[in-house]
Amino acid sequence: MKTIRNTASKTAILELITHSEVALSHVEIQKLTGDLCDRVTIYRVLERLINEDLIHKIATPDGTVKYASCHHHHDNHHHIHNHVHFSCEKCLSVTCLDSVEPSYKIPDNYLVKEVNFTLSGLCPKCI
């Protein structure tokens, strides 16, 4: 496996995620990048992109972790991904539904830092 600078890997992985209509798993990213970088480099790049608030992690109902681009950046560089994700039971795609905001009520003595709200069913392509 040839060694590629992290910036080349980071750029390629961010481009893949940014231009994908659905969230991508590590395995899907590895297939799409070919021999550009190894799996460990992909994990490191994904963590770096998460820390930089460029992408976010989505846990699917089956336990797979997928990654999607952040669409809303705020001036204070700290934002919560408080939108709904939809997981299709047939094609297994995961999409961000940015226009759907989850609603919940919790006791006052809790502090919410992150919301991971996933609905599952059939996407428009599979109905």
| Domains observed in the chain | 6-121 (1.10.10.10)
pLDDT band at 27 (very low <50, low <70, confident <90, very high): very high
Using the predicted structure, report yes or no on whether residue 13 has a pLDDT greater than 90.
yes
Nearest-CA neighbor of 24 among 40, 42, 2, 6? 42
DSSP state of 36: S
pLDDT value for 98: 80
- Report CA-CA distances (Å) from 21 to 26, 46, 88, 113: 16, 18, 13, 26
**Is the pLDDT assigned to residue 121 strictly greater than 60?**
yes
The pLDDT, as a whole number, for residue 10 is 94
Mean pLDDT computed over every residue of the chain:
85
Question: Does the pLDDT at position 53 exceed 80?
Answer: yes
Indicate the pTM of the whole model: 0.76
